[in-house]
Structure formats: C-alpha cells, structure tokens
Structure 1
Amino acid sequence: MAVIVALGAFLMTLAGGWTAQRVTDRRHLVLGLAGGLMLGVVGLDLLPEALEAAGDEVFGVPAALLLFVAGFLVAHVVERLLAVRHAGHGGGDGSAGGAADTGTGTLRDGRAPQVGLTAAAAMVGHSLADGVALGAAFQVGGGMGAAVALAVITHDFADGFNTYTLASLYGNARRKALAMLFADAVAPVVGAASTAFFTLPREPLGAYLGFFGGALLYLAAAEILPEAHHDHPALSTLLCTVGGVAGIWLVVGIAE
C-alpha cells in the first residue's frame, strides 16, 4: 500500500518540476515562490519533526537544533569553498552583470553549479526519507499511514518545484536539472519499498531532518530569495514568498 501511495508522490514531484520550468518568463516569481516553499517546509515541517524525533539535549540544547545550525554552517562553508574554486578556474565573477547560464555550468556572480547539484541531491535525500516515513507509518496502522501520505503527496509538489529550481538556478544544464527532478520523484517510491526490508530508527531520521533543514534554510535565505528580488523587487514576488509559506502551513495543518 505504501508503494502505491508513493507513486502519487512521484507524480506530484514531476508536476512541481514541470511547473518550475514552464514559467521561466516569470523567473522572479518562481524564485520567490520557491523561497517561500522552502522556508515553510523547513520551519513548519522539517524542524518540528526533527525536534520531536532527534532525541536528547546536548549541553542544554536539543540535538536537532544543533544539527540544524550545523547544516546551515556546512551549506555556507561548502558554497564559499566551491565558489572560490570555481572563480579560480575562470568562472564568472559578476563583472558586467555576470555570465548567464550557457548550459556548461557558468552562472552570474561566480556561483558554482556543484552547489545547485548538491542542494538538489539533498532534496532527493529528503524525499527518500519521506518514502521511508511513509512506509513506517503504514506499518504502524492505516490511520497513521493516511495522515503521512497526505503530507508527503501534497508537499512533494513543492519538493519537485524546489529541486528543479535549485539545480537550474546555479547554472546547470537543463538535462541535469531534469535528471535531479526525476531522481527526486523516484526517491519516495524507493524509500517506501525499502521499509519491506528494514525500519529506520527514529533518532537518526530526526537528526538528518534537522541537518537538512539548516542547509535548506541557508539556500532559501542567502541565495533563492535575494536572487528573486535582485532584478525584480516587486510586491508580486514578495506575495509569492508569503503564499509559499502559507501553502505549506495549510498542508501541514490538513495533515495534522
């Protein structure tokens, strides 16, 4: 049953990615919405789950919050290191407006394409964890499974949207962004199927969610949202961001 439900998540993920690539003429709105969706997923979905599941405190601070901060810092350090390396190898430096995406991995402001692929891969890992959670929920009971299924299927639209946006924002070729989108769509199906063979302990899953949430927040706050408002500081972009957060809030509320 869990695998059948995960197929719905597969379709919703592809739908999210298709939406992201079809509205390229309104890129600032896409990025504004993506930033809002990511902020909502982190603050209203990932972090509460991580705090509940990750276990004991460490020196008076919940382990999930420590990992959340660690994820934020690791994302920042990795991006800076890759950006410096990219610039040292002749990458874009932001001069004359910077280089546009050429399909070979060059993006304005010297952003490294590897950052986008790494972030998209983290989204794939999150979707894999979603699938594992879905399978585990159905092992507990039908009611629990139905609640988790609703949450997974509905917010996988946002996952697909964000996966494609993250990969393409950093200058990766369209085929790479589509490959990451397909991997993200398949991940919950694989995760749900895996629960037929093992059960992931609750605390490691919570720790992962905390770490991933911190990395995702960094990308939303330091990269996606500033880029959304860079060329088009419009009220419509801000409304898309607020709408993305509100949409995730609605999904979480319905799932509860």
Structure 2
Amino acid sequence: MLVALGCFLMTLVGGWTAQYVADRRHLVLGFAGGLMLGVVGFDLLPEALEGAGEHVFGVPAALLLFVTGFLVAHVVERLLAMRQAEHGAHRPDQVPQVGIGAAAAMVGHSIADGVAIGASFQVDEAMGLTVALAVVTHDFADGFNTYTVTRAYGNARRSAVAMLFADALAPVLGAASTLLFSIPEQALGCYLGFFGGVLLYIAAAEILPEASHRHPARSTLLCTVAGAALMWVVIGAAAG
C-alpha cells in the first residue's frame, strides 16, 4: 500500500506538469518506456512462464495471455480512437464527453496497475518492487495525459482536476483489493503474462512514440536505454 501511494503522487506530478511544464517531458517518457520494457522482458515474462506452467496447443499459456494482453490493449486504444474520430467533424471543445470517457478509460487502466502491484508482491517482495517501479514511473504519463485529454475536449479545469485525482486514487484502490484475497500461483502466472502484454503495448505504442514525436533527440533514446539497463541491474541484484 505504501508503494501504491507512490503511484498516487506520481500521477499528480504528471497532471501538475501538464499544466505548467512540458518541455522536458520527453526525457521522462523515454526513461519510463525503457523501465517498462525492462520489467516485461526481465521480470514479468520469466515469472509468468514459470508460474503458469501449462501449454495450450503447444504454446505456453503465459505467452498466449501475453499476446492476448497486447491485443486487448490495442483494441481498447483503437476503439477510443474511433470514438474520437466519429466526432472529427466537430471542434474538440464541442464534445467534452469524449474527453471524460478517455480519462475514465485511463482510470480503469490505473486500477489494473494497482492490482498488478499487489499481485506481484504476492510472488515476492523483489518482484513487487520492480513492477511498482515501472508502474510508478509510467503513472507520470498517465497523470499528464488524463489532465491533457480532459482539457483538450473543452472540459473545465475543475473536471480535469477531478479526473486526475480519480486516476491517482485508482492504483491505490487496485492494490488494496489484493489484500482481500490470495491469487493461486498458476492464476498469478497467467495474470502476469496478460499484464506484461498490456505493459509492453503501452510502452511500445504509446509511451515511446510520444516521447520521440516532438523531440526525436539522442537524449531521449539514451534515457530509454538507461531505463532498460537500470531494470536489468535492479532485477539482477534482487536475484543475486
């Protein structure tokens, strides 16, 4: 729960940054993308493969769920994009409900982040901390985007701040829910595989492209490599 509070604070920092400072955002996002890539490749997938155990038609169940998680995240993102495109003939400030809907989707995603943190701590403390580090870091982007998308569609600042606080509280509530039950090892491995696919999609299709879109600088790339390398060192030290 203390770690989940870090998600709360980082989300608020992201929302505050969206209001006042945006010039160095690409460096934070680049680093966050590298962290998320490292967590998926070095920690989530190995644990999922070990825990899920079974094969389904010749393929490990964890990898099937990994691909499923990636595709589910892609479908959700595309559905939101299509919904926004339906209103493309109107000015963004004429459809504030689209901004609220997109922000609400981010809140739902943040609840799943909190569940992932709690589930990871049920495996062991080292894995819980590495997953939490990735989630806390990318919650900066969540807070930034929640505030930005709400305001972009014409909602009042008060509404944007309310959605920001809802997104900040969501991972705390998700983590708290895992205190009420213990996930069986096989189900936990499957869940980690699914969440790994979702996390990889967020990193590869949203965080990293956004980091490089307006600032295709070498420093952004270096931050991404540094993030992945840091996770390698952290996970290796924990295993040792």
Which TM-score applies when normalising by structure 2?
0.77
Which TM-score applies when normalising by structure 1?
0.73
Output aligned runs, 1:222-241, within 5 Å.
222-241=205-224
For the aligned residues, what is the CA RMSD?
A: 3.1
C-alpha deviation, 1:206, in angstroms: 1.5
Higher relative contact order (CA 8 A, sep 6+): 2
Q: 1:126 to 1:10 in 2, by over 3 A?
A: closer
Residue correspondences, number: 224
Tell me whether 1:203 sits opposite 2:203 in the alignment.
no
Task: Please say if residues 117 and 166 of structure 1, whose CA atoms lie closer than 8 Å, have aligned partners that are also in contact.
Answer: no
C-alpha deviation, 1:119, in angstroms: 5.2
Aligned twin of 1:182 = 169
Task: Please say if residues 120 and 131 of structure 2, whose CA atoms lie closer than 8 Å, have aligned partners that are also in contact.
Answer: no
Aligned twin of 2:138 = 162
Task: Report the Cα distance in structure 1 between the residues aligned to 2:80 and 2:182, rounded to whole angstroms.
Answer: 36
C-alpha deviation, 1:174, in angstroms: 4.5
C-alpha deviation, 1:60, in angstroms: 1.1
Task: Please say if residues 52 and 185 of structure 2, whose CA atoms lie closer than 8 Å, have aligned partners that are also in contact.
Answer: yes
C-alpha deviation, 1:186, in angstroms: 4.3
Task: Report the Cα distance in structure 2 between the residues aligned to 1:73 and 1:127, rounded to whole angstroms.
Answer: 21
Sequence identity percentage: 48
Counterpart AA for 2:42: L
Aligned twin of 1:149 = 125
Unaligned runs of 5+ in 1: 1-5, 94-98, 107-111, 138-147
Task: Please say if residues 54 and 205 of structure 1, whose CA atoms lie closer than 8 Å, have aligned partners that are also in contact.
Answer: yes
The correspondence for 1:12, drawn from 3, 6, 9, is 6
Q: Deviations over 1:37-85 (max 9, x none)?
A: 2212221222112111112111111111111111212222222222112
Task: Report the Cα distance in structure 2 between the residues aligned to 1:250 and 1:31, rounded to whole angstroms.
Answer: 20
Task: Report the Cα distance in structure 2 between the residues aligned to 1:30 and 1:91, rounded to whole angstroms.
Answer: 34
Task: Report the Cα distance in structure 1 between the residues aligned to 2:107 and 2:44, rounded to whole angstroms.
Answer: 16
C-alpha deviation, 1:229, in angstroms: 0.8
